[in-house]
Amino acid sequence: MNQPLMVTAAQRAGTQVTVAVGVVILALLIALPLLSLLPESNSLQVSAYTLTLVGKILCYAIVALALDLVWGYAGLLSLGHGLFFALGGYAMGMYLMREASGDGLPAFMTFLSWTELPWYWVGTQHFLWAMCLVVLAPGLLALVFGFFAFRSRIKGVYFSIMTQALTFAGMLLFFRNETGFGGNNGFTNFRSILGFSITSQGTRAVLFLLTVALLAGSLFVGWRLARSKFGRVLTAVRDAENRLMFCGYDPRGFKLFVWVLSAVLCGLAGALYVPQVGIINPSEMSPTNSIEAAVWVALGGRGTLIGPLLGAGLVNGMKSWFTVAFPEYWLFFLGALFIVVTLYLPKGVIGLIKKRGEQ
Amino acid sequence: MKSTPTPAFDPVLDPNSDAGTSRDAIGLGQVAGKGLNTLHGTILTLEDISVSFDGFKALNDLNLYIRVGELRCIIGPNGAGKTTLMDVITGKTRPSHGKAWFGETLDLTKMSEVQIAQAGIGRKFQKPTVFEALSVFENLELAQKTDKSVWASLRAKLNGEQRDRIDEVLETIRLSASMSRLAGLLSHGQKQFLEIGMLLVQDPQLLLLDEPVAGMTDAETEFTAELFKSLAGKHSLMVVEHDMGFVGSIADHVTVLHQGSVLAEGSLEDVQADERVIEVYLGR
Ligand SMILES: Nc1ncnc2c1ncn2[C@@H]1O[C@H](COP(=O)(O)OP(=O)(O)OP(=O)(O)O)[C@@H](O)[C@H]1O
Ligand SMILES: [Mg+2]
């Protein structure tokens, strides 16, 4: 979690293994979209279903990493990260809806017999402005929420409950047709992105590669942060915030920075998720989604960079298998998993692997 | 507890907010001058300080002056208000009334904990508190006097001078061998020393030490006494301690606190001879 100054030989060997595994996984992730471009007759061809599934899980992995930055490092358990993810997704969705409807209004607005676009839709036909919104919507919300929460020194369970309430409120707001985001159906039936058909193999492959790039970028940012003095200050915020203040640090600025960064990463992940999955609706903001993200992080091992990725991969991999094999048992299984991890794996799967490695 | 309202605008987003220089610029304007000014030789002035917790007066019209370079010991029975006094000075607790000045110009009752720390008051807690998940070295690195804003921390890199200073302090607190161990794994006494070391690298003008030798062996206590005596002069120290042997070995000036106010002040012999003090300590 922290970088001790003297790295022992064993740790160095561990790092080498991690790097090797990382390179292999990265190579596989880059190969996957390329293989999807092969003709269907080829036995190595990767189906669109598989590519979408893995792409979706990668987006979740970015959310897990972002959540871990605030939870694992700074000790702020957010149960509302789904909101930031969904906001990024909706911002991208606005562009895709405009792209699909051409000069007219998006279909759901015509259905409501609206005659003009609400003001917040202005400019969303431009890809660049939509990309700004992807960053600004979650970023500004996190900034305002964080500013007041940290100024009032809201911590621990209270903070978690407030974030949960925030995403719940967001969901209720987006459920309303009057809000102008398609009500409970959300956005779907996308056609193209920057003129490229959204369902074509090439577009899918590019979106997938962008997701891999975002994940790698987030990992790099997280790694730099964790190794910097900033990262150590965050650890200190988590463990002894008062002591830190008497050392002359203002914890609020540190928390706000990592909080907003985390929200923006989630927003970007959401923006890549929507065109790949082809739909965004308010259920993405449901409290259970955000709680599930916390389970990924806890299972993988919080306070590490690899742990959350592993957790997101494992849980979602199991989920897609379960929902095919025994759909009705998935939630029970998830609950049981959470209990087992809390009781027996306080440091997550990563902790278990590290322990094995030391023996 | 009645507290002074916090200013409507907190300089939370100002990475360069350091006490005394930027406060006027951002419109708080309660501080008369800039920086620490000890023109008249007094580093800490407390006048008529009262603190009440739900009607219970933990501090009651307390008056206390500490001169620049002084090593002052505060003694008093349990619950006398010694820790509360430190809380007031460091901004953790706001007095319901009274004046608290750091030097001539800094009004402690109007400053936040962070501003007070940045202005040059360092504190060691009664219960040793270190950053347990960080190594001993990293604990000192965080405490070290430097720009402590978010931006500076993002790009901070120790220079040779800072590294040498940390090594020197590690030597002083005898933790050189454990510098890469996690602070959480240290013994109680080692944590005490680490916290003292954190104060040393923080290099404050005024050091507040709450029961620094609790849990230390006799040899360690003696060593700490020497350390504090060597600090006095350059720094001002306020030490709370129950260990009378330790107090006798370091202090020339002792303040006895009882039920939230000063009962007696003077040399250790004088206060120990004071009848009211004897009564308080024996009648407990
Ligand atoms: N936050 C608080 N709420 C209520 N009462 C408090 C609070 N903090 C301190 N007190 C009370 O104020 C009184 C003074 O406490 P303080 O901790 O300052 O004593 P002390 O002199 O440091 O004692 P000790 O020698 O045991 O450390 C005690 O009676 C304590 O119970
Ligand atoms: Mg005390």
Mean pLDDT of chain A: 92
Cβ–Cβ contact A223 with B under 8 A: no
In this structure, are residues A255 and A94 in contact, taking their beta carbons and an 8 Å threshold?
no
Mean pLDDT (whole number) for A178-196 = 94
The pLDDT value recorded for residue A234 is 96
The pLDDT value recorded for residue A41 is 87
Q: How far apart are the C-alpha atoms of B62 and B46, rounded to whole Å?
A: 7
Cβ–Cβ contact A154 with B under 8 A: no
Contacts of A256 in chain B (CB under 8 A): 12-13
In this structure, are residues B225 and B73 in contact, taking their beta carbons and an 8 Å threshold?
no
Instruction: Inform me whether the pLDDT recorded for A346 exceeds 90.
Output: no
Instruction: Fold for B15-282, please state it.
Output: Rossmann fold (3.40.50)
Encode pLDDT of A198-218 as tens digits: 999 999 999 999 999 999 999
The pLDDT value recorded for residue A323 is 86
- Ligand 1 atom closest to Cα of residue B54: 4
Nearest to A332, CA basis, from A349, A64, A340:
A340
- At a CB cut-off of 8 Å and minimum separation 6, what does B180 contact? A4, A5, A6, B135, B136, B137
The pLDDT value recorded for residue B11 is 40
- What DSSP line would sit under B138-204, residue for residue? HHHHHHSSS--SHHHHHH----HHHHHHHHHHHHHTT-GGGTTSBGGGS-HHHHHHHHHHHHHHH--
Instruction: Inform me whether the pLDDT recorded for A90 exceeds 70.
Output: yes
> How many CA atoms lie within 13 Å of B104's alpha carbon, on the beta-carbon side?
7
Cβ(B81) to ligand 1 under 6 A?
A: yes
Cβ–Cβ contact A41 with B under 8 A: no
In this structure, are residues B258 and B77 in contact, taking their beta carbons and an 8 Å threshold?
yes
Nearest by CB to residue B12, choosing from A225, A244, A253, is A253
Mean pLDDT (whole number) for A86-106 = 95
Encode pLDDT of B248-273 as tens digits: 999 888 999 999 999 999 988 888 88
Instruction: Inform me whether the pLDDT recorded for A4 exceeds 70.
Output: no
Q: How far apart are the C-alpha atoms of A316 and A309, rounded to whole Å?
A: 11
Cα separations in angstroms, B128 against A240, B81, B183, B189, B196 = 11, 19, 11, 9, 9
What is residue A161's three-state secondary structure?
helix
Contacts of A253 in chain B (CB under 8 A): 12-13, 15, 149-150
Instruction: Inform me whether the pLDDT recorded for B184 exceeds 80.
Output: yes
Which residue(s) pair with B74 in the sheet? B240, B255
Encode pLDDT of A256-303 as tens digits: 999 999 999 999 999 999 999 999 999 999 999 999 999 999 999 999
Phi first, then psi, for residue B49 (nearest 5°) are: -75, 125
The pLDDT value recorded for residue A10 is 62
Mean pLDDT (whole number) for B227-244 = 91
Domain boundaries along the sequence of chain B:
15-282
Question: Considering chain B, what percentage of its residues have pLDDT values greater than 90?
Answer: 67
Q: How far apart are the C-alpha atoms of A220 and A226, rounded to whole Å?
A: 10
Residue labelled with tokens 């050091």: B207
Tell me the pLDDT band of B21, cut-offs 50, 70 and 90.
very low
Q: What is the ipTM of this complex?
A: 0.86
Give the Å distance between the CA of B211 and the centre of ligand 1: 14
Instruction: Inform me whether the pLDDT recorded for B98 exceeds 80.
Output: yes
